[in-house]
Structures are given as C-alpha cells and as structure tokens.
Amino acid sequence: MRVFKGTARLIRLALRRDRVVLPLTIFLVVIMVAGSIPALYEAYPDTAAQTSYVASAATSSVGRIFSGTVQGANLGSIVMAELYFFTAIIVAIMSIFIISRHTRYNEEIGAGEMIGSSVTGRSAQLSAALALAVCANILVGLLLFATLAPAEGLSVDGAALFGASIALVGIFFASIGAITAQLSDYRRGANSLAISILAVSFLVRAFGDALGELSADGLSVTASWISWLSPLGWGYQVLPFSEQNYVALLLLFIGASALILLSYTLMKRRDIGSSIFQAKAGPNRAPSYLLSITGLGFRLQRSQLYAWLTAFILAGSMITVVANDYREAFEETELFQELLAPASGSFTDTVIASMFPLIAAMLSAYVVATMIKVSQEETSGRLEQLLASAKTRTAWLVSNSSLIAGGAVLCFVVMGFFGGISYYIAADTPETEFMDIVISSGFNIPAMLLFLSILTLVFSVSTKFFKSFAWFAYAFVALIGSFASIFSWPQWTQNLSPFSHTPLYPATDIDYGPLYVMLILAAILTVLSIVIFSRRDLQLK
C-alpha cells in the first residue's frame, strides 16, 4: 500500500517525541486507579457502608452527573462511580492531544510539509498518529485490567471489560481528534473543538443519567435513552461489573472505525497545511482596549479564563450538593471522619470547609497553565518585540501576574457563589449560611496567590525549566491534598502545600492568621520576582 509508506518510521519518530509525556500520563492514570482501590476498601468495607454510599449516589443529582448509574450495593458500583469518570476523561484528552501533536501541529510548524516531501505516503502521518493513539489506549486498558483483576470483590471478566471500555473510549476520541485535525488549521483550534465534543458528550451522558429510572430498592439506576446518544454514555453503559453490555462496546468500536475512515477521506480532500475550515478574517484595526500590555494580556488569557470559570462553577456546585446528598454515606464512614476537619460546626459546614481546599489545589492547574502560557511569550520571541517598545519588563510581569491573580479571585468568588446557590436549591433545610459558603471558597485565595507567586519567582529566575517545574509543583499540591491524609504521610509534606494552610471555615472559627502570612509571603515573593526578572537577560533564540 503506497499511501502508507513510511508509517512505521513515523511511529518511531512519534514515540521518540512522546517518550516522556506519554509514559507519564499512562503511569498517572494507572497509579491513581491502583492507589484508589485500597482507599475504597477502607472507606466501604462492608455491605452496610456500600449500601449507604450507593443509595446516596443513586438519588443525588450530582451523584448521577459525575458517577453515572450505580448498579446495586457492591464494590463494582463504587469503582465505576468513583473511577470511571476521571479515567475516561484523561484517556480521551490524552488521545486527542496525541493525534493533534503528530498531525496538525506538524503541519503548523512546517514539519508536515518536509515529511510529505520525503518518501512517505499520503496517509502515513495520520496513520502513524492513529497507530500511536490506539496502542497507547490498548496499553492503558491492559494495565487497568491487570490492576483491577486481582482486587477482591471485582470479577476478572469485569476488570477486563472495564479496561476494554476505557481503551475504546480513548480510541473513539482519538478518531474525533483525527477529524478535528482535518477541520481546523492549527493545533489549539483542533484540540478545543475535540474537547468541546468531549464536553458535550459528558453533558448528554450526565443529563441522560440524571433522568434515569431508580429501582424499587433504591440502589440501582437504569439510564434513560438520552445517555445512549453519547459516546461517553456507551463507555459507561458497558457496565462491566453488572450487566456486561457488549452492544455498548460494539457501538464504540463501530463509531471509532467510521470516524477514522471519514478522517482519511477528509485528509485526502485537502492540501497539506490547509484545512477544511478556513481561518476567519480578523479586524483591520485593533480595538482600543487591546492597545496596552494589560489589554493584550487579557486578550491572550481570556479564553482560558472562561474555560476555568466554568470548571470552578461546576466544582463549587458539586461540593455543596455532595455535602447535602451524600450526608448519610459520609456520616457512616470512618475514613471520612479522618479526612474531614475537626468539626465544631454542622455536618455540611465540615464537608464544605474540608472540600474547598482540596478542590482548590486541584484547580490550581488554572494558575499553572496560564503562567506557562505567559512564559511562552518569552520563549517564542514575542516578548522581545514587546520590550523593544516603550514598555518595561516590570510593567509586563506585573500586569500579567495581576491578570492571573484577578482571574483566581474571580474564580473563587464565583465558585462560592454558585456553590451557595446550588446548595440552597438542593437542600430541604439548609444548615449552612449562604455567605459562609462564599467566604469558605474565598479563603482559598491567599493560598492560590502564594502558589502563583512561587511560580512567578521560578519564572523570573529562568524559563529553562519553568514548564517542568510548574507541572511538578502542580502534581505535588494536587496529590498532597488528596492523598497525604489517606496514606498518612508525615505532616511536613502536607505543610509544603499552601492549600493545607487554608482555615477550615465554617467548620472552625475564623482565623485570619495564616491568611495574612500567606498574603504577605506572596507579596514578598512577587516583589523579589520583579527585581530578579528586571536583572536577567531575556532568553532568546
């Protein structure tokens, strides 16, 4: 087959380029599943604990949205409810990124043209990317099978179906990525289009599951037909530990195959470097708001900010509704008693106060991703152009980090606000004050600003290792928040994360002390960053 000539060679090239990020992603997915299994045993050791959890998940709207349709009081239900959602989302995003990196991005930087001019077939680049994505997903599936199969209370064939379902969801979204890479003329456009499709299929599945029918014993839910409109719904409806629905697997397989065939057709109909959708024309003149360092910074950060605001709103609503709906399940579990704050307030006070800092640590990816984007202004050479104009480095650094800080403040206020609203909608007799929810969320602002100022300081010293440092720091704070108490790591590891120092209001009295300390530290580090940044050479090609 001449059109495929060179595919094997290009697969080796792709493997070489992804030799760090791909194994790391796969490792993280598997280790999070493997690490959660003992925690789930500990939290839900017997039928009584499992029953109260499943009963809450079956009746709670948020439970249905994030956990899907539970199938009776057993460990399989809980594994699906707790682990399927995040595993599926991560493999889907991983697959989308693999495809765009090795197809559209190659063309964007001109490498696609050079590869195309060598002895390679027309289909080689797309085929190499798809082959890599398919293999990566099969590997994830096999590793998940190996992780879950020995677990007590889970069947071996269930574990196999869980792995197969996750792998096929990943392959399905690789095929979506293969389509969007033909449609959009640049990588970020292709990625955001594919991720929007992922978000829509999540929403359709969530809506369908929320409308599902509750069984007579209140421990099982049958999804409504709407869930069957979503590829994520098919993945979930494989129901590996109960019904074992092979039709859902087949749907994923047929869907992915059809989309892959379509992506080849689209690819053959376009020229290398071009796309099915043409880039829209922009304005001749710049709007006046754009004509400043801050205006430009806002323009460059705004689409990210809107996406993160949505994430904060969802997270806020989820926390408060879970605090209300899962009340019984939580009250009966010893593990949660350990995890939750030393309580003096009501039960929902305690859950809300403990959950906000955990979620804040997870969502600190917002400042990490945005600060990395800002740092790329320097490495791309665009900062050179800006600073060759009559603007100072200090002005540039201050306006960009202020924009991120302002975005973070907005995110927490909005998270508290929507958390409060959702709670008052969900709760029959609210026992936590609305403003207390907003304040509890807002109390995470100093920790977030401190985290941002640490990132800024490292960036001000050098851009060289900034990106790796930033993601490493993120992995640390995100994992510390969730796992340190579960695995009883020493206290000092927890103390390293700013989010461990947020006062657990409203479960405890207001204590401004740590907030002031964190704000002052953040201010000192920011000033230090400005001084260091204004003294170093720009990193230029």
- Site membership for another protein, residue 279 (CB under 8 A): yes
324 in helix, strand or coil?
helix
Amino acid identity of residue 451, one-letter, is F
Least Å from the CB of residue 536 to another protein = 8
Applying CB under 8 A, the site for another protein has a residue count of: 38
**Of 243-251, 381-389, 402-410, 433-441: span binding another protein (CB under 8 A):** 381-389
Q: Shortest approach of another protein to residue 273 CB, angstroms?
A: 10
Q: 472 with 389: CB under 8 angstroms?
A: no
Query: How far apart are the C-alpha atoms of 234 and 251, rounded to whole Å?
Result: 7
Contact assessment for residue 73 and residue 54, using Cβ atoms and an 8 Å cutoff: yes
d(CA 90, CA 137): 11
495 near another protein (CB under 8 A): no
Q: What is the DSSP string of 59-74?
A: H-HHHHHHH---BSSS
Q: Lay out the site mask for another protein across 53-92 (x = CB under 8 A, - = otherwise).
A: ----------------------------------------
Q: Extract the runs of DSSP E, i.e. beta strands, from 302-433.
A: none
In 3D space, the residue among 303, 259, 304, 235 whose CA is nearest the CA of residue 86 turns out to be: 235
Closest CA to 120 of 95, 97, 102: 102
Decide if residue 286 touches another protein (CB under 8 A): yes
Nearest distance from C-beta of residue 173 to another protein, angstroms: 25
Select the residue interacting with another protein from 196, 385, 468, 491 (CB under 8 A): 385
Task: Give whichever of 2 and 285 is closer to another protein, judged by the CB atom.
Answer: 285
Q: Which is nearer to another protein, 276 or 427 (CB)?
A: 276
CA distances from 513 to 48, 241, 393, 494, 518 (A): 42, 49, 33, 18, 9
Tokens 């209300």 locate to: 324
The answer to the question of residue 293 lying near another protein (CB under 8 A) is: yes
Find the angle CA(383)-CA(387)-CA(388) to the nearest 5 degrees: 115
Q: Are 127 and 149 in contact (CB under 8 A)?
A: no
531 sits near another protein (criterion: CB under 8 A): no
No. of H helices and E strands in the chain? 25, 2
* Interface with another protein, residue 399, by CB under 8 A: no
Site string for another protein, 230-269 (x = CB under 8 A): ----------------------------------------
19 binds another protein (CB under 8 A): no
Regarding 527 and contact with another protein (CB under 8 A), the answer is no
One residue of 1, 119, 216, 540 binding another protein per CB under 8 A: 540
CB of 282 to another protein, least distance (A): 3
Give the nearer residue to another protein in terms of CB position, either 1 or 540.
540
Query: Cα separation of 413 and 443, whole Å?
Result: 10
CB 400 within 8 A of CB 525: no
Question: In degrees to the nearest 10, what's the CA dihedral of 340, 345, 351, 352?
Answer: -130
Q: Does 538 bind another protein (CB under 8 A)?
A: yes
Determine which residue in the list 5, 122, 393, 467 makes contact with another protein, applying CB under 8 A.
393
> Whole-number minimum distance, CB 446 to another protein, in Å?
32
Contact between 283 and another protein by CB under 8 A: the answer reads: yes
Q: Which of 292, 402, 468, 491 binds another protein (CB under 8 A)?
A: 292
Minimal distance, residue 389 CB to another protein, in Å: 4
> Please, what is the minimum distance in Å from the beta carbon of residue 363 to another protein?
25
For residues 106 and 116, give the distance between their C-alpha atoms in angstroms, rounded to a whole number: 10
- Paired with 221 in beta bridges are 214
User: Minimum distance from CB of 104 to another protein (Å)?
Assistant: 12
The nearer residue to another protein, 108 or 332, going by C-beta atoms, is 108
What are the residues facing 214 on neighbouring strands? 221
Among 257, 344, 392, 495, binds another protein (CB under 8 A): 392
Residues present in the chain in total: 541
DSSP code of residue 220: B
Exposure of 147 in the CB half-sphere (CA atoms within 13 A): 23
How far lies 52's CA from each of 44, 74, 329, in Å?
9, 11, 5
Q: Which of 108, 214, 294, 483 binds another protein (CB under 8 A)?
A: 108
Closest CA to 233 of 253, 254, 252: 252
Min. distance of Cβ 385 from another protein in angstroms?
7
Single residue of 20, 117, 152, 280 touching another protein by CB under 8 A: 280
By the rule CB under 8 A, 467 interacts with another protein: no
Distance CA 89, CA 84 (A): 9
In the complex, least distance from residue 356 CB atom to another protein, rounded to whole angstroms: 34
Nearer to another protein, 216 or 281 (CB): 281
Binding mask 135-174 for another protein (x = CB under 8 A): ----------------------------------------
Q: How far is the CB of 345 from another protein (least distance, A)?
A: 47
Phi, psi for residue 213 in degrees, rounded to 5: -95, 130
> Phi/psi of residue 220, each to 5°?
-135, 150
Binding-site member from 130, 296, 368, 473 for another protein (CB under 8 A): 296
Asked if 290 interacts with another protein (CB under 8 A), we say yes
- Nearest approach in angstroms of CB 8 to another protein is 32
User: Using CB under 8 A as the criterion, which residues of the chain lie in contact with another protein when the complex forms?
Assistant: 108, 185-186, 279-286, 290-293, 296, 299-300, 380-382, 384-393, 534-538, 540-541
